[in-house]
Amino acid sequence: MPTLVTDPKIEQQLLERRRASRGDRFDEVWDGVYIMAPLANLEHQALRNQLTTAFTNALAGHSGTQVFPGVNVGDRRDDWEKQLQMP
C-alpha cells in the first residue's frame, strides 16, 4: 500500500532505522520521491529465475553475451548517479 510520510521528524527516524538495519539496500529515489519497494515474492523470483535460465540457454552460443537476473536501469547516460542518491 502506498504511504506518504509528511512529518520530517518521522521521516528522518524511519530512514535512520532503515539504514541501521540495512533495510534500505534496495530503496530508490525517483524524481525526488523516496521509494521503499518490498522484495520480490516467491512467484516473482521463480519467474525471474526461469527467464534468466531461458535467456542464458538461448544465447549460450553468442560470444561475449551475458545474462543477468537483475540490473539497475536509468534514463540518463550522464549524471546517472544522481538518481540513486538518498535525500
For the residues 58-69, what does the mean pLDDT come to? 89
User: For cell 535467456, what's the residue?
Assistant: 55
Confidence of residue 80 (pLDDT cuts 50, 70, 90): low
pLDDT the model gives residue 86 = 47
For the chain, which residues make up each domain, given as ranges? 1-63
CA distance 13 to 36: 15
Q: How many CA atoms lie within 13 A of 32 on its CB side?
A: 0
Confidence of residue 87 (pLDDT cuts 50, 70, 90): very low
Per-residue pLDDT tens over the stretch 23-46: 888 888 877 788 888 888 999 999
Please tell me the pTM assigned to this model.
Answer: 0.55
Instruction: Name the amino acid, one letter, at 52.
Output: T
- 85 pLDDT more than 60: no
pLDDT the model gives residue 19 = 92
- 58 pLDDT more than 70: yes
Instruction: Name the amino acid, one letter, at 45.
Output: Q
